[in-house]
Amino acid sequence: MAAEPVKRITDIGPPHYEKFLHPMVKKNYGMWKYHESLAPGVLCHVAESGDKLFTVRAGSPRLLSTATIRMFADLAEKYCGGYLRFTSRNNVEFLLDNQANIEPLKKDLQAAGFPVGGTNNAISNIVHTQGWVHCHSSATDASGIVKCVMDALYDRFTHENLPAKLRIALACCLNMCGAVHCSDISILGVHRRPPQINKDLLPKVCEIPTLISSCPTGAIRSATYEGKPSVEVVEEQCMYCANCYTVCPAMPLNDPENDGISIWVGGKVSNARSAPKFSKLAIPFIPNEPPRWPGVVDAVVNIVEVYAKHAHKYERMGDWIERIGWPRFFELTGIPFTRYHIDDFRFAGTTFARSTHIRF
Amino acid sequence: MAVTVEQMAEEMYEMIKEAMGKKSFKATDLTKAMIAKYGEGEVSKDDCKHAIRILIDSGRCVYSYFGGSFITLPHKEGAANE
Amino acid sequence: MADETKKTPKLDELEKGPWPSFVKEIKQARKVNTMCDDLLGQLETSYEEKKGHWKHGGIVGVMGYGGGVIGRYSDMPEKFPKVAHFHTMRVNQPAGWFYTSKALRTLCDIWDRHGSGLTNMHGSTGDIVFLGTKTDELEPCFAELTKEGFDLGGSGSVMRTPSACVGQARCEWACYDTMKLCYDLTQTYQDELHRPAFPYKFKFKCAGCPNDCVASIARSDMSIIGTWKDSIQQDDAAVAEYAKKGMDIQKDVCDNCPTKCMSWDGKKLTIENHECVRCMHCINVMPKALRPGKERGATILIGAKAPIIQGAMLSSVLIPFVPAAELLDTIKELTSRIWDFWSEYGKNRERIGELIQRVGMANFLDAIGLDPVPEMVSAPRDNPYIYFKKEE
């Protein structure tokens, strides 16, 4: 090994957040009293001291060039002393102490193509993964679908006119880097065919025992190929999770005609009113349709609009469906109920109807 | 202590070298092997952590990831393009 | 610059429409680094062929660390040589994702010098994601980052970068200092963040109240969710003000209470606080009138994860209430016991939630020295297959 030229700095962790806090935030830290919504995307937090902090929230595509980040920095310097933050849903927030700067900032953001909104009963930004931009295991794209869905739901981002919050998330495969399994609407990339074993590559890049034990259904068995140890897949046992591909790159599941998208509904993470819950399957498969993804866009918009029309005030998607029942959900949305909607993995029975409580 | 941290690092290195291509070890595997060999009272988890750190910081071993992190000898990875 | 002439008709479709376009961002970054030309070219190919073209690397990183860099290689390096390497660097975000414009410019300058000029603000776990660079640039980029006070985040079998909601910095509902806890945990476990020593990943997420804006109950192995023990703070004059302004207190507030612990007689709101489950609904609806109580702290839950491998899980209650002042010490003690048990018994790629499923929650509690309490279950078991202990 070559000698290290200079002393390397390691293990310092992130900078301390206090360095980046607006003076008003620092002054009133832990002493906020209440907040109000002034308009979609505009919040006012009032401190015990009487100080008022204004937040202007704008949507972003998450994938940002340094040029755009610098443009946000310019706006922050122009209007709020350079103080800004990002939200857990990839929105950018400007923190202002001068109310008079709200409207000019909004104008500048809109002129730059960044919509202000995403608060309260608006649809916030879509949490999502990398997709074809950067992922090796994606069953679908991410950024492109998000772009098309948000184009269609743009007015729902800039207006707070839904019965409750509505949170959409997208993961381009079952690894779910975006952990979309508890969202009002989840868009999830799925494979539908077993891994195609690259038998020549396999012994060079994979450990067979590790590969066999990676399969949650025991569908991978040892086999020999040209006299060398290899594996085979019991295809009926495969549910296309792709865990084998993660531990062994010689087991790709990508298949342009059979990969696609599933839609799940009714999950949430907030404890408000009802307990957090998983999203449940609404649509098992929509083919990948780049570049504008019409099937997914129509499906999501349909679910959003049916929910907006029928849910009561404060009802999240899942609360609404529980009140009206799943049969009515399928009827109202026009989505066909199929054999794929009935669970057959572990704990499947917990989703069977175990009562005669049936609405006719 | 029946064995020094440096000696353990050597033994871990031999284990990794021996099994290269057949089985990859995680940090926990190496730690368990040393404790099994020398006894719980003789070597601690922190000693083993220290030994692994010696291997990594010297560049004799590297971390690798394939559905979980392992400790291996430096090698050109399968996916790498020239 | 022949590549500039490459056509991307499919991606160009994604520049249309009102929502900000990631394709525009990539095109903008071409001015920084011509890697982005080949990124566009390869992405256009994916859009034509309906499949991804990346290979996963498992070995690139910075010296001494086993996490923070995700190796990525094009599977069409002849056609798109500029993205033959296209690795991700995860940079640990400041707690709460607060920045000054100066800090952002510093990050942008470093990344323009060493990478594609493309980022994610932020990645799913919370890191700043620097998207796309070559192996040779990793170490110099890391050196510049640490010089400016930034460090890498986690990947692989490590403690992943902890994250926190905005907490007490801008939220009246934060029941503990989420950003401080997040920062303290990150600093305490620097070794566990950078040097993989676990069966698989471990995530902490700090949410200030049961609204859980960082999705900790769905996305973290240890979820720390703020709550309070005493009564909701109530301002009767402000309640009356909401009623006067047209809020239907009975319908909007009381009828939506999951435990029906509230009543409204047209003048006064009465809350049976011992029956309240701290769901936040009434507080969310009337933030000027109702606030979390004063005896604040957090519930600690364990085990959430996405589906791979044994199925998705939500976290479940481990300690119903820890006072805010005791949170860091309690979590450190608890975590060391949990990590010991997990390192001993966890299999490769087995998350703590899956290990608990496999060995049983009761055995897990024994191992970490916690007594069972009824808050841990939605109901006691309903099957009689009980593993009685011999000594009892």
Interface test with A, best of B29, B66, B77 (most A CBs within 10 A): B66
Interface check for C324 against chain B (CB to CB < 8 A): the answer is no
Stretch B35-51: mean pLDDT, rounded? 93
Q: Do A247 and B66 touch (CB under 8 A)?
A: yes
Q: Which chains touch C (3 or more CB pairs under 8 A)?
A: A, B
Number of domains in chain B: 1
Confidence of residue B10 (pLDDT cuts 50, 70, 90): very high
Q: Which residue of B has its CA nearest to C65?
A: B63
Reduced to 3 states, what is the DSSP secondary structure of residue A109? helix
pLDDT band at residue B67 using 50, 70 and 90 as cut-offs: confident
Q: How many residues does chain A have?
A: 360
A187 interfacial to chain C (CB closer than 8 Å): no
Percentage of the residues of chain A whose pLDDT score is greater than 70: 98
**Per-residue confidence at A345, pLDDT binned at 50, 70, 90?**
confident
For chain B, the average pLDDT equals 91
Task: Quote the pLDDT of residue C221.
Answer: 98
Do A241 and C52 count as a contact with CB atoms less than 8 A apart? no
Res A11: pLDDT: 97
Does the N-terminal peptide bond of residue A291 adopt cis geometry, omega within 30 degrees of 0? yes
pLDDT for B79 beyond 80: no
Using CA atoms of A101, A106, A109, A114 in order, give the dihedral in degrees to the nearest 10: 150
C23–chain A nearest CA distance, Å: 9
Q: Flag if B78 and A249 touch (Cβ within 8 Å).
A: yes
Query: Would you list the DSSP string of C117-157?
Result: SEEEES-TTS-EEEE---HHHHHHHHHHHHHTT--B---SS
Mean pLDDT of all residues belonging to chain A: 95
Mean pLDDT within A59-72? 98
The residue in chain B having the minimum alpha-carbon distance to the alpha carbon of residue C55 is B79
Task: Return the residue matching tokens 């922050």.
Answer: A76
Tokens found for residue C131: 């998207």
Which residue in C53, C108, C210 is closest to A271 by CB distance? C210
Using CA coordinates, name the residue in chain C closest to B61. C64
Q: Which residue of C has its CA nearest to B65?
A: C58
Residue type, B19: A
B81: chain C residues, CB-CB within 8 Å: 73-74, 77, 84-85
Give yes or no for residue A45 having a pLDDT over 60.
yes
Residue B81 located in a structural domain? no
C residues 198..227 contacting A (CB < 8 A)? 210-219, 225
Residue B82 has pLDDT above 70, yes or no: no
Q: Is the pLDDT of residue A5 over 70?
A: no
Contacts with A249 from chain B: Cβ below 8 Å: 66, 78-79
- Could you say which of B57, B69, B79 has the minimum Cβ distance to residue C73? B79
Q: Is the pLDDT of residue A1 over 70?
A: no
CA distances in angstroms from C318 to C218, C307, C330, C364, listed in the order given? 15, 21, 12, 11
- pLDDT by residue for chain C (392 residues), tens digit each? 444 557 999 999 999 999 999 999 999 999 999 999 999 999 999 999 999 999 988 889 999 999 999 999 999 999 999 999 999 999 999 999 999 999 999 999 999 999 999 999 999 999 999 999 999 999 999 999 999 999 999 999 999 999 999 999 999 999 999 999 999 999 999 999 999 999 999 999 999 999 999 999 999 999 999 999 999 999 999 999 999 999 999 999 999 999 999 999 999 999 999 999 999 999 999 999 999 999 999 999 999 999 998 899 999 999 999 999 999 999 999 999 999 999 999 999 999 999 999 999 999 999 999 999 999 999 999 999 999 988 87
Residues of A contacting chain B (CB within 8 angstroms): 1, 201, 204-205, 207, 209-210, 214, 243, 246-249
Is the pLDDT assigned to residue A2 strictly greater than 80? no
pLDDT at residue C325, as a whole number:
98
Q: Is residue B51 part of a domain?
A: yes
pLDDT score at A6 = 67
Residue B78 lies in a domain: no
Phi, psi of A128 (to 5 degrees): -150, 175
- Is B61 domain-assigned? yes
Q: Does C157 sit within 8 Å of B68, measured CB to CB?
A: yes
| Residue B2 predicted with pLDDT over 90 | no
Lowest mean pLDDT among A20-29, A301-310, C309-318: C309-318
Whether chain C has a CB inside 8 Å of the CB on A34: the answer is yes
Residues in chain B: 82
Query: Can you give the pLDDT at residue C3?
Result: 47
Asked if B41 is an interface residue toward chain C (Cβ–Cβ < 8 A), one would say no
Which of the four pLDDT bands, split at 50, 70 and 90, describes residue A357?
confident
Q: Which chains touch A (3 or more CB pairs under 8 A)?
A: B, C
- Give the pLDDT score at A114: 98
The 3-state DSSP class for residue C173 equals coil
Best residue in C54, C56, C86, C157 for a mutation probing chain B (most B CBs within 10 Å): C157
- For residue B34, the distance in angstroms to the closest alpha carbon of chain C comes to 13
Structure tokens at A268: 């949430």
Helices (H), A201-293: 202-205, 208-213, 243-247
Cα C243 versus chain centre, distance: 37
> What is the distance in angstroms between the Cα of B81 and the nearest Cα belonging to chain A?
15
Closest by Cβ to B67, choosing from A1, A204, A247: A247
C348 interfaces chain B, CB cutoff of 8 Å:
yes
Residue A74, classified by CB atoms within 10 Å of its CB into exposed (0-12), middle (13-18) or buried (19+), is middle
> Taking 80 as the threshold, does the pLDDT of residue A145 lie above it?
yes
**B41 falls within a domain:** yes
Tokens found for residue C227: 């709550």
Give dist(CA C84, CA C78) in Å, integer.
8
Residue A62 has pLDDT above 70, yes or no: yes
Whether residue C196 and residue B28 make contact (CB cut-off 8 A), yes or no, is no
pLDDT of residue C230: 97
Average pLDDT over residues A36-55: 98
Residue B65 near chain A (CB below 8 Å): no
Residue C41: other Cβ atoms inside 10 A: 20
Mean pLDDT of A95-101: 98
Confirm or reject contact between B23 and chain A (CB < 8 A): yes
Token pair listed for B23: 């089985």
Residue A75 has pLDDT above 50, yes or no: yes
Distance from the Cα of residue B10 to its chain's centroid: 9
Phi, psi of A89 (to 5 degrees): -110, 30
Least confident of A325-329, A353-357, C262-266: A353-357
Q: Residue B79 falls within a domain, yes or no?
A: no
CA-to-CA dists, residue C359 to C209, C355, C356, C388, angstroms: 31, 6, 5, 15
Contact A272 C94 (CB under 8 A): no
Is there a contact between A63 and C124 if contact means CB atoms under 8 Å apart? no
Token pair, residue A74, equals 């310019």
Whether B56 has its CB under 8 Å from any CB of chain C: the answer is: yes
CATH of the domain at B24: 1.10.10.10
Nearest by Cα to A293 from C14, B45, C161, C64? C14
ipTM over 0.90: yes
Q: Choose from C341, C348, C350 for mutation: most chain B CBs within 10 A.
A: C348
- Which residues form the domain of B34? 5-72
List CB contacts of C318: < 8 A, sequence separation 6 or more: C300, C301, C302, C334, C370, C376
- Classify residue B9: in a domain, yes or no: yes
What was the pLDDT predicted at C59?
87
Q: Are C15 and C23 in contact (CB under 8 A)?
A: yes
Q: Taking CB atoms and an 8 Å cut-off, how many pairs form between chains B and C?
A: 88
C196 touching B (Cβ < 8 Å)? yes
Q: Rounded CA gap, C177 and C169, in Å? A: 8
pLDDT in tens, A191-226: 999 999 999 999 888 889 989 999 999 999 999 999
Tell if the CB–CB gap between C307 and A137 is shorter than 8 Å: no
Q: How many CB pairs under 8 A join A and B?
A: 24
**Looking at beta carbons, which residues of chain A come within 8 Å of C14?**
144, 147-148, 291-292
Residue C389 is predicted with a pLDDT of 87
Contact C84/B at CB under 8 A: yes
DSSP lists the bridge partners of residue C225 as C207, C299
